[in-house]
Chains A and B, each alone.
Chain A
């Protein structure tokens, strides 16, 4: 199987309008990633994107003409990537955490820059490891990882859900069980890959 690009390269190559709207997001972005715009995955992507940007601002989400986003270039790419990855992990089965909170958790466990996209195969290959937490291969308690999240995220994320999320990754072989309830993350050189297909 060939993978045309990383997700980051794919997003970099997109012509992103100054003002994002639902039509562009579904018809251009999602379709370019191989996602049917009339699918549950597309709904998930949209929900995660809007939650990332708008939080609880329903009036914006439901504004008459549909939502529109004015976000600077690099930030919008991070939003698009986060929305797609959040939806992908949820779709894959990482359903312990609400989908809208996954973008905030993903940097703890995913090497975002190495996520690979295959439009032809309609799939993502997601490398799991602690990419930026600076924890190396230390055995850590899920509490330590949880406390690395932003306070605003922790205010909405149940710790038990997060611990279950870690357990799920251990069970799937993507994190290592370090015993005594701790987890050990994979080194960057040998991540565990998750394959997510849009079916």
Chain B
């Protein structure tokens, strides 16, 4: 089976085989507390919304939220790739940087942010629609049918398809689309914002020549001859720099090498195209990453006023490794399991709740099981709608962790996730004793919680009475090393798990000699990204075949079903930072 690496954006790539998809991009940290993707006002967001029960995605400058539905893998891939490209286009361009500032700067109103988004919506949606389907086509030859579920996006993708039809090969068209979309978003608008600062820039102060959709409407009018000539110039530049054709770069190269190589073609294509069309040449344009200096000045100006505004890239940032760039992408990913979080309630056995009644609930399920969840306080607090009293209690418990059994209960007609706290190792020992012989038992601790070692000495010896599953919610690179979750020398055995739930997949692995196993849950592309991280991180230490998981299957089934039933979303941002 041939492995093919295809570009996601000029700076990112996607590794695709029939069995795996890998993509990467820079990112920022999600902030669920103020997550615009949960708002009913989506004017600051970029959207993928389909018909009926189609999968959906919502991108905000803070994070993107995916909602896979059904079991159509092509649709899930298009959904995820669509949102990745919104993120990529914003993270790497001047207009995108201004959007990031507007979304984060205290005192800048949502109205201005909405205007900024509105003025790039056409190029953004056209680019994301074109690229997502083009990349997904590598695995799904009939991917165009996905547009039947998203008819609004077909004519948007068609804008790039029509423009780039003269180009030979899918890869050239993707590079060209990336270059044009980035050019549209690359006017020196940050300088305007800096000049106006600390006043907020107004839209009327931004000339049309700097507005992305305006530039896009001018760009799509170039004729086929100009497109072909620009591609020929890009081919020449690429041959001169790399000694071959752009389609023949060894795809086993690192991301940085691929980015550099493909960047030569992309930059030459755009430069030649713009230079050959006077109406485009007249528009002010920054070179790639030419906005970073101004963006840094803007954040420094904010800092001088006591404000912190973090942007995706810094001026002196070293090229990211494959693992780092994938993790930046994952940081921004939220996989929604339900529309809105459950209401949550905390209870201490012997006080607000009888432990025996809780265990009876666990025992009454189809396959009796009890799962003790370990979470960081901040993670727990953002995941459930707790009442004021419980929020106060969580604040007292910070930084945590909090260990609790979860049950979905009916409380006055409202579904509530009851968290029965286990407040000490002794209390856990009592719980374990009470549950003995009644069904499957497991501990599920998030990796972000696990790596905070302060609690482990007191708790871990007691918890190991039950099998421990570490639920991966952060990048894998920090886990490598002596005494860490991925170890340094040990062999690692992994396996994909079928969950019987469309849209969510699982990958589990066991580090030889470790008492626990690790589990990642996500949509197919997210799981493949983690698999790619594992391969890149572990190399020959990793084996995804020929391991016996029979003794863990019941435990993993209990944990996955409990997590999927109770969590509002799957996230990979280290529990909220």
Contact = CB atoms under 8 A, between A and B. Distances in A.
B47 A159 contact: no
- Label chain B's interface by main secondary structure: helix
Contact of A158 (B45, B152, B208): B208
Interface stretch (B84-92, B211-219, B454-462, B521-529): B211-219
A158 B205 contact: yes
A62 B218 contact: no
Given A43-B159, A47-B217, A58 B47 contact: yes
B211 to A, nearest CB: 6
A160 interface: yes
A59 B213 CA distance: 17
Given A43-B159, A63-B49, A95 B42 contact: no
Given A154-B204, A156-B115, A158-B207, A40 B220 contact: yes
A97 B122 CA distance: 16
Given A56-B115, A56-B118, A156-B203, A62 B214 contact: no
Interface in B188-226: 202-209, 211, 213-214, 217-218, 220-221
A90 interface: yes
A62 B152 contact: yes
Nearest to A66: B152
How big is the B interface, by class? Answer: 35 or more
How big is the A interface, by class? Answer: 20 to 34
Contacts of B203: 155-156
A44 B118 CA distance: 15
Contacts of B205: 158
B255 interface: no
Interface in B465-501: none
Contacts of B207: 158, 160-161
B271 interface: no
A99 interface: yes
A62 B220 CA distance: 21
Contacts of B162: 38, 40
Contact of A56 (B50, B114, B152, B218): B114
Contacts of B211: 98
A159 B220 CA distance: 25
A157 interface: yes
Interface in A51-100: 55-59, 61-67, 90, 95-99
The residue among B119, B150, B208 with the most chain A CB atoms within 10 A of its own CB is: B208
B138 interface: no
Contacts of B158: 38
A29 B159 CA distance: 20
A159 B202 CA distance: 12
A98 to B, nearest CB: 5
Given A64-B51, A64-B54, A98-B211, 5 more contacts: A47-B122, A56-B118, A66-B151, A158-B204, A161-B209
Interface of B: 42-43, 45-47, 49-52, 54, 114-115, 117-119, 121-122, 125, 150-153, 155, 158-159, 162, 202-209, 211, 213-214, 217-218, 220-221, 279
Interface of A: 22, 38, 40, 43-44, 46-47, 55-59, 61-67, 90, 95-99, 154-161
9 contacts: A47-B213, A47-B217, A62-B125, A98-B213, A155-B203, A156-B115, A158-B206, A158-B207, A161-B207
